[in-house]
């Protein structure tokens, strides 16, 4: 998604947006393309699971593959929100890790947040990634004894928040990006 900022800088988006398609459709197509391209990394993750001999049956694998596109699109929407506010490709390149890495720690990707209290609990609830990660855990641990210990929220809440944030981030980010492109 950061390539869009570079394309805007090089005036490629001006040529792209001349197409007889909505600017929003072009950006949504880029989001979907980037989301599915990121699924290539899923092959490496699955290979690491087998190499490390992490217990995973075929049903677990199918659930992980099924939820991956939703999570990839949610990440793409977050990137669109960022590029909607950023005009410089260097700032976009530096900004995305600064947006994602704190979420990884505060949302429970690396450190469990179920026992967090005070400001950490509030920040964990505000992080969009919290709900995406918990949705993945809901899907993966469904029907397993570890489910209650691994999952924070019901699956419907995680899916609802993830979809709502996808729609909001995509709409706001696309609107901001198109507005900035028109004002150039």
pLDDT in tens, 47-78: 888 899 888 888 888 888 888 888 888 888 88
* Total-model pTM: 0.78
Name residue, tokens 């999570």. Answer: 71
Confidence check: pLDDT of 17 > 80: no
């Amino acid at each position: 998604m950061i390539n869009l900022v570079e394309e805007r800088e090089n005036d490629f988006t001006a040529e792209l947006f001349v197409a007889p398609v909505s600017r929003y459709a072009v950006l949504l197509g880029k989001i979907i393309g980037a989301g599915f391209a990121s699924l290539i990394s899923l092959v490496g993750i699955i290979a690491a699971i087998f190499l490390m001999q992490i217990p995973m049956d075929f049903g677990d694998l199918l659930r992980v593959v099924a939820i991956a596109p939703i999570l990839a699109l949610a990440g793409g929407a977050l990137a669109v929100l960022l590029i909607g506010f950023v005009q410089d490709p260097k700032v976009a390149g530096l900004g995305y890790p600064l947006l994602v890495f704190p979420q990884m720690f505060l949302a429970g990707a690396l450190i469990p947040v179920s026992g967090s209290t005070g400001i950490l609990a509030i920040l964990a609830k505000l992080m969009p990634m919290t709900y995406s990660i918990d949705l993945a855990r809901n899907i993966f641990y469904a029907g397993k004894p570890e489910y209650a210990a691994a999952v924070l929220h019901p699956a419907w809440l995680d899916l609802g928040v993830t979809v709502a944030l996808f729609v909001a981030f995509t709409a706001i980010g696309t609107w901001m990006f198109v507005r900035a492109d028109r004002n150039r």
